[in-house]
Structures are given as C-alpha cells and as structure tokens.
Amino acid sequence: MNIFVNDAPIQCDEQTTITKLLSQQGIQAINIAVAMNNMVIPKAQWDTSLVKDACNIIIIKAVQGG
C-alpha cells in the first residue's frame, strides 16, 4: 500500500496499524498526536486503527518552548 506520512510517500503492509506504522518509522509514541485523513485518532485506538491505501497521516510532536 502507498500512504503519505507528513506529505512523504511511504509503502506499508495492508494490516498496518498506527502503532505499527510509528514503530516502522522509528517514531516514539510519546507527546505526539496522529491524524488520519484529517481526523485525529485517539491514542487508545492506535492499536486497532488500520491504515488504508492512499491515507494521509499527519504526525505532530508537541514541543515545549519559551
């Protein structure tokens, strides 16, 4: 399957969950938010939310500044 993660094209398996995708991309699931096709996915649903072909995934990392 072909998807987009932060506008970059990526290939993944059909049974890829958000949790698996983050792991494959080396992204720690700490202080981040994930949206799939412009809908924020609660962290409690990452293990069960399957990525679909041509999905647009946005990953936002919270940073602290001052």
Q: Give residue-wise pLDDT tens across range 34-45.
A: 999 999 999 999
The total number of structural domains in the chain stands at 1
- 3-state helix, strand, coil split of the chain in percent (to 5) is 15, 35, 50
Q: What is the pLDDT of residue 39?
A: 97
Q: Of the candidates 1, 2, 6, which has an alpha carbon nearest to the alpha carbon of residue 59?
A: 6
Instruction: Give residue 21's domain range.
Output: 2-61
- 44 inside domain: yes
How do residues 4-40 score in pLDDT, each as one tens digit?
A: 999 999 999 999 999 999 999 999 999 999 999 999 9
Q: How far is CA 24 from CA 2, 31, 32, 45, 65, in A?
A: 14, 18, 16, 18, 28
62: left (phi over 0), alpha (psi -120 to 50) or beta: beta
Q: Does residue 3 sit in helix, strand or coil?
A: strand
The whole-chain average pLDDT of the chain stands at 95
- 66 inside domain: no
